[in-house]
Structure 1
Amino acid sequence: MENFNFGYTNSPYLWMDPRSKALLFLAANFALWGGTNYFASNLFFVFIVLLLINGKQTRMAMTAFVIYFAFLAIDVVLISKLSGTVSILLLTIFRVTRLYMPVICAAILLIRTTTVSEFVAAFKRMGLSDKIIIPFSVMFRFFPTLGEEWRNIRNAMRFRGIRFDWQSIMLSPIKTLEYVIVPLLMSTVKISGDLSAASISRGLGGPKERTCFKQIRFGILDYGVVILSSIFMIFTILDGM
């Protein structure tokens, strides 16, 4: 049996099935199509924020909420009154960032509130091939591990008295590349190899049927997520026609 956790998961108030989170992430990508329909997009984003709070990602949820609606206000009030290069620049920064906020929040919900064990067990239940599950399970853990490595690099730079901010990037781009990007790229290669080896050592892709301590099943919240996500995707498709 297996039930391994990589330390990025908080116990939510109401447990969600990984399959409903994956569908939510897919539906969030439809927000990129329906960005001009403020009511539907905003309502769906608030729904994602509430799910983040349910997953005990309250700080992230509140930060995303403030950024999203601040950028929306700038988009609606300010950019519409401007023209020319300034309008295009602000539109690129604020509107594009706002449109990607639901996707980012849904991805955070999926990654930070789901163990790899739950992910593998859920998609095994769907009958997916190991050729699909194993790469995704490795990728599923890759980004949190890369985030940890990034924090370690910054702490090491701070310990040696090396700053990493916008001023240092603008004044010393080559030094920044040497001290930050190169170690991060080297760590990326090592992390990908270690995660692949760990997946094989844990028996992923083996011929025997795997079991999991966690019971994977849909609850009331999952059905609500599936229904609302499906409605949003259908509405976005019809609205775009």
Structure 2
Amino acid sequence: MLKLDIRTKIFILLIANVLMFKMMTVNIHLLVALCFSLYLGISSNLKRMARFFGIYLFFTAYEVFFAHTVTLQVVDSFLLLTGLMFKTLYFPLCAGMALVSSSKVSELICFLRSIKLPKKMIIVLAVLYRFFPVLLTDYRLIKNSLKMKGIGISRGYYLLHPFKFFEYIFVPYVIISTNIANELSVSCLCRGIDNDEKPSSYIELKFNKMDYLVMTIVLGACCCIMFLR
């Protein structure tokens, strides 16, 4: 697994957001998407990388080969719009998942304190940083508990029964989300994140050779892509 400083990962996330608005050909976009997918795989999880890149390849293949052969215009428009949204957000999505899944909240807090961010904003960002990974874990727990009762075992079950999705998953998910937000906020406050005294930390942020190498490569590649016509 690639070990990078959290500042390097935030830098890559910023570059991903810049590239998101750059118009590219299909081939160049595919090449950049492959690079961000590999970054996600070596920083976080290979299975997650394969799943997301597989979805990307599906939308790309549909756009190139099948977009004008579907007889139902509604299906064609839906898939093209969904593919456009997914491919537009793909770069920051990969960079964001790599950041969240491979960095600790203590590293984020240490970085935010180093740039003199207000304490209230640090609390909000720290809670949001841990909120979505915890939500994904609870979503899996809800689905597993329903499968133990024989609900949602087959693939596409909730597509065929959308009202049951809202009843069995969405409603408890919303309730759990509220409780998670409260618990994470209390956890941050209990750790003294709002203390007025000068904070101490055992986390030391420090760049190594790999950080400098990765940032140089990413910045150079970004400049080349931005000046392509």
Using structure 2 for the length normalisation, give the TM-score. 0.84
Compute the displacement of 1:21 (Å): 1.1
Residues 161, 67 of structure 1: alpha-carbon distance in 2 compared, 3 angstrom cutoff: closer
Compute the displacement of 1:47 (Å): 2.5
Letter in 2 for 1:213: Y
Q: 1:47 aligns with which of 35, 38, 55?
A: 35
- Residue of structure 2 in register with 1:3 after alignment: none
CA separation in 2, counterparts of 1:168 and 1:47?
33
Residue by residue over 1:81-140, the C-alpha shift from the partner in whole angstroms, topping out at 9 and shown as x without a partner, is 679935433321333323322222111101100000111112222232223222111000
Number of residue-to-residue matches in the alignment: 227
Does residue 166 in structure 1 map to residue 156 in structure 2? yes
Listed as ranges, the gaps of 5+ residues in structure 1 are: 1-11
Which structure has the higher relative contact order (CA within 8 Å, separation 6+)? Answer: 1
Please say if residues 150 and 184 of structure 1, whose CA atoms lie closer than 8 Å, have aligned partners that are also in contact: yes
Residues 37, 54 of structure 1: alpha-carbon distance in 2 compared, 3 angstrom cutoff: same
- Residue of structure 1 in register with 2:108 after alignment: 119
Which residues in structure 2 correspond to 1:1-241 (within 5 Å)? 12=1, 14-79=2-67, 85=73, 87-163=76-152, 166-171=156-161, 173-231=162-220, 234=223
CA separation in 1, counterparts of 2:59 and 2:83?
5
Letter in 2 for 1:126: I
The alignment partner of 1:36 has SS state of: coil
CA separation in 2, counterparts of 1:40 and 1:109?
22
Compute the displacement of 1:160 (Å): 2.1
Residue by residue over 1:34-80, the C-alpha shift from the partner in whole angstroms, topping out at 9 and shown as x without a partner, is 25334543333233223223324122223333332343232223326
Identity, % of aligned positions: 24
CA separation in 2, counterparts of 1:231 and 1:52?
19
Letter in 1 for 2:132: F
Residue by residue over 1:186-239, the C-alpha shift from the partner in whole angstroms, topping out at 9 and shown as x without a partner, is 101110000000000001121223333332112233223433444455556556
Extract structure 1 runs of 4+ deviating beyond 4 A: 80-84, 231-240
